[in-house]
Amino acid sequence: PGCLLLQLLSYLGACDRLLKQGYEEGQVEEAMEMFQYSEKKAAEFLHLLAQFNDMGFQQNEIKEVLLLCGNQREKALEELVMK
């Protein structure tokens, strides 16, 4: 039980830090789940998602490509441009 509490506190802390960076709550929760609660990977994903979104790409396409490319920016950008 104590271990579960530590995991929960760690998750909430990570979510709080990502929210303070300006990401939306739903996106933060989704990213944390997609990357098995890795704050680092979720943060990379959210950063790239916002970047590609600003470039005018569709959010659902961005998510799909980032997952397929493992958050590799150049590879993901190449895939998005080819779509």
Q: What is the residue whose two structure tokens read 């961005």?
A: 62
Which residues, 6 or more positions from 10, have their beta carbon under 8 angstroms from its beta carbon?
37
Could you give all domains of the chain from N- to C-terminal order, each with its CATH number? 2-82 (1.20.120.1920)
Whole-number pLDDT of residue 83: 85
C-beta neighbour count of 78 within 10 angstroms: 12
Predicted TM-score of the model (pTM): 0.89
User: Over 90: is that where the pLDDT of 2 sits?
Assistant: no
Q: What is the distance between the alpha carbons of residues 14 and 75, in angstroms, rounded to a whole number?
A: 27
Q: What is the distance between the alpha carbons of residues 3 and 79, in angstroms, rounded to a whole number?
A: 40
- As a whole number, mean pLDDT of residues 33-61 equals 96
Of 2-6, 17-21, 42-46, where does mean pLDDT reach its minimum? 2-6
